[in-house]
Amino acid sequence: MSVIGLDIGRARIGLAVADGLGLTAQPAGMVSGRDFPALVARLQQLDAHHLVVGLPRLLSGEEGEQAAATRAYADRICDALGGVPVDYIDERLTSAAAHRVLHEAGLKSRDHKGKVDTMAACLILQSWLDGQKYHTQEKGTP
């Protein structure tokens, strides 16, 4: 069973999966065109039991139309997967951070298409995983 990070965009959905120990986010590809059946099939293949979805808030921190659309889409995904739990992570500036990571890895901007979505999903999931580690340590568990 896996924890899956999703960067839901208009053109593509980036996917990331937590490693077996829940320490790191690993790229898991993308689904083009918000193809719902293909996305559900991929999530079933990854044995998703928990979703972490990037929520596109406005720079003010408020939720706009895109955040509402993302929540509605994530609800459809959860229902299709039998009611798996979902957590939302503020994804402001994750695409910019993903571009920066890809540049630092030596990829030219023209080669970023498709990779940015997966990298953004990794950043979203890693942020959530790091928060889980913090909360576990805060409770006194090593």
Higher pLDDT, 52 or 21: 52
What confidence category does residue 103 fall into, taking pLDDT thresholds of 50, 70 and 90? low
Q: What is the pLDDT of residue 63?
A: 82
- Domains plus CATH for the chain? 2-138 (3.30.420.140)
Residues 93-123, buried b or exposed e (16+ Cβ, 10 A)? ebbeebbebbeeeeeeeeebeebbbbbbbbb
Higher pLDDT, 49 or 111: 49
Q: What is the mean pLDDT of residues 34-62?
A: 91
Task: Summarize pLDDT for 107-133 with one digit per residue, the tens.
Answer: 555 554 666 688 889 999 998 999 886
Kindly report the pTM of this predicted structure.
0.82
Flag whether pLDDT at 56 surpasses 70: yes
The 10 Å Cβ neighbour count of residue 31 is: 21
Residue 79 DSSP class: H
